[in-house]
Chains A and B, each alone.
Chain A
Amino acid sequence: MSIEVSIHQALRHLTNGQATVKVNGNTVGQCLNNLVNQFPGIKPKIFDKKGKLLNYVEIYVNLESSYPEELAMSVKDGDRLHITLIIAGG
């Protein structure tokens, strides 16, 4: 099972500058945990202390919003995740 995760610009310093990372998992949550195992520094930037996604983190699966299922959403081999951050500046 191989899923490609596209990393937001603002988080790439936590993935050694990589724009995409290969992960394993059957759900979005498992994929993100696998990402955290590879790059522990990214954990506090996407999860709160209880393991919930932070309010400003958005996950898209194959360019479609995963909200509201999010972490529980199933994924399959070849799927692509995008981690984006909500912005509000004007």
Chain B
Amino acid sequence: MLTINELERYDRQIMIADIGKEGQEKLKRARVFIAGAGGLGSPAAIYLTAAGVGIIRVVDHDSVELSNLNRQILHWDEDVGKKKVSSAREKLKKINHEVKVESIEETITEANVFQLITGFDVIVDAMDNLPTRYLLNKAAIEKNIPFFHGAVYGFEGRAMTIIPGKTACLRCVYRGDIPKEKFPVIGVTPAVIGCIQATEVIKYIVGIGELLKNRLLIYDGLDMKFTEFKVKKDPQCEHCGHVRKG
């Protein structure tokens, strides 16, 4: 049930016929896990908080560095040296105090991933390296939790939505590992991709629209072009090959 305050706060999105009060209540009940409070995690968390999801859990092990501030908009000058999750929680609560924000300062590993994601309705992949993305992809499939992938490099970004057992997963699409590197990026790129991830999450929670299922969306900011590629589930996939369509 929405309060009078909530009805006013979310008035403009409740006006969207596909959302309405019922959709807003679904958002209020939703539990969102965000892996990473950096370039992608910042816009995704900000817009999901503003949209009024019930609980957001942000996990990150890093501290804020000056070189993060060109893109990680949850963190400001005054936050340099602070833990990213503390800085993120502080800002998100200021954006919308109605949202419960859990901040966990941990590295996501094989040992803790299931404990961290259990009980959440969706996982937002806002990591900065492929090995942890694979770890989350595999865990999301095991726990049957939709996984919202996003990645950036320079002026380029990509997004894809993974519904366990029904769509191609990250491992179906990506052949292997790539070396972890210090990557170039300008803040507007994760802003675009993080907002696409947040849009997908909202649509999934409310149950509307067409998700990026089996569709890899690539954004090229230099040519200002979005290109959509069809991807397919690999029956031999080492992460999801054993999971049947539900």
Give the interface of A toward B (CB within 8 A): 9-10, 19, 53, 55-56, 58, 60, 63-65, 67-68, 82, 84-90
Contact = CB atoms under 8 A, between A and B. Distances in A.
Contact of A63 (B125, B154, B173, B228): B228
Contact of B178 (A19, A53, A56): A56
Interface stretch (B24-32, B38-46, B201-209): B38-46
B185 to A, nearest CB: 6
A86 B228 CA distance: 15
Contacts of B156: 9, 87
B231 interface: yes
B90 interface: no
B158 A55 contact: no
Interface of B: 36, 38-41, 125-130, 133, 150-158, 173-178, 180, 183, 185, 190, 216, 218, 220, 222-223, 227-232, 234, 236
Contacts, number: 82
A88 B35 CA distance: 13
B227 A63 contact: yes
B177 A67 contact: no
A90 B41 contact: yes
A89 B6 CA distance: 35
B127 A90 contact: yes
Contacts of B127: 88, 90
A73 B76 CA distance: 49
B173 A90 contact: no
B152 A90 contact: yes
A88 B173 contact: no
A82 to B, nearest CB: 7
A82 B229 contact: yes
Contacts of A64: 229-232
Contacts of A53: 175
A5 to B, nearest CB: 14
B176 A67 contact: no
A9 B39 CA distance: 21
Nearest to B182: A89
A67 B232 CA distance: 9
Nearest to B153: A87
A9 B61 CA distance: 32
Contacts of A87: 151-153, 156-158, 183
Contact of A86 (B154, B174, B180, B229): B174
Given A67-B173, A82-B227, A90 B150 contact: yes
Contacts of B227: 63, 82
B190 A90 contact: yes
25 contacts: A9-B155, A9-B220, A55-B177, A63-B227, A65-B230, A67-B175, A68-B234, A84-B218, A85-B153, A86-B174, A86-B178, A87-B156, A88-B130, A88-B133, A88-B151, A88-B153, A88-B178, A88-B183, A89-B185, A90-B36, A90-B40, A90-B41, A90-B127, A90-B129, A90-B190
Contacts of B178: 55-56, 86, 88
Contacts of B152: 87, 89-90
